[in-house]
Amino acid sequence: MLFSLLPLQVVALVGSLSMSAPLPPPLGAHADVATAALGTLGMLAEPVDVVLFDANHKETYTVRIGRDGSIDATTRETLEHAFRCRRSERERGIDRGLLAMIADVQARWPGHTIEYISAYRNWKGERKTSPHRAGRAFDFRVQGVKLTDVRDYVWTRFEQVGVGWYPDEGFVHMDHRHGEADIAWTEIRGSNRYHPSWSTRARRGDAPRERASRVGL
């Protein structure tokens, strides 16, 4: 299977390379072919310097994340701490697909700090099926960028994702949901309104080459 966030123009080349290119040591059940292709092609493999600001702890982090979501051991430790549950202070590993999305957002708006409100969440009130509990979700805004621009970019850029717009609270939710259908919503006064009109407008006329692969990490 191919990495969910690999652009379609690269996916075609991955298929042709997978028959002959040697694979690196396994990184996960679904990552091998895409990772090998990225290394061979030299495409999307360049890391992105991501500037993150924790709105709760008032801490700033600068980390380097590969466009395929890869990180080194030191960065992994840094991010597990940075994205810790803001209530319980517990830490956990962060989904690689989500990291690739964060790197892509930073690459789209270089020089703009990504300010996040919530990442990993693990407290009594968090539902068991929440992508936040699994380290697959991120509530954020990009400083100096319109919230609706961030919302529409994430929704049109990726598949196998959840994208929520929280205009009252001033952030966008994004999560990576491997093997699941896309879902969009707007939260108004504590109530989620699914399949909002903005999600249809944003994807109308979206060229396939600008979308991500349907198969996930």
CA distance linking residue 161 with residue 158, whole number of Å: 7
What is the pTM assigned to this prediction? 0.78
Summarize pLDDT for 118-139 with one digit per residue, the tens. Answer: 999 998 888 999 999 999 999 9
Q: Starting at the earlier edge strand, list the strands of the sheet with 191-194.
A: 59-65, 48-54, 114-118, 137-142, 171-176, 161-166, 183-188, 191-194
What is residue 25's predicted lDDT score, i.e. its pLDDT? Answer: 30
In the chain, what are the domain boundaries? Answer: 1-45, 46-207
CA distance linking residue 200 with residue 177, whole number of Å: 20
Class of domain 46-207: alpha beta
Beta strand 59-65 pairing with 191-194:
unpaired
What is residue 141's predicted lDDT score, i.e. its pLDDT? Answer: 98
160: alpha, beta or left? (left if phi > 0; alpha if psi -120 to 50): left
Summarize pLDDT for 36-86 with one digit per residue, the tens. Answer: 334 433 445 689 999 999 999 999 999 999 999 999 999 999 999 999 999
Summarize pLDDT for 149-200 with one digit per residue, the tens. Answer: 999 999 999 999 999 999 999 999 999 999 999 999 999 999 999 999 999 9
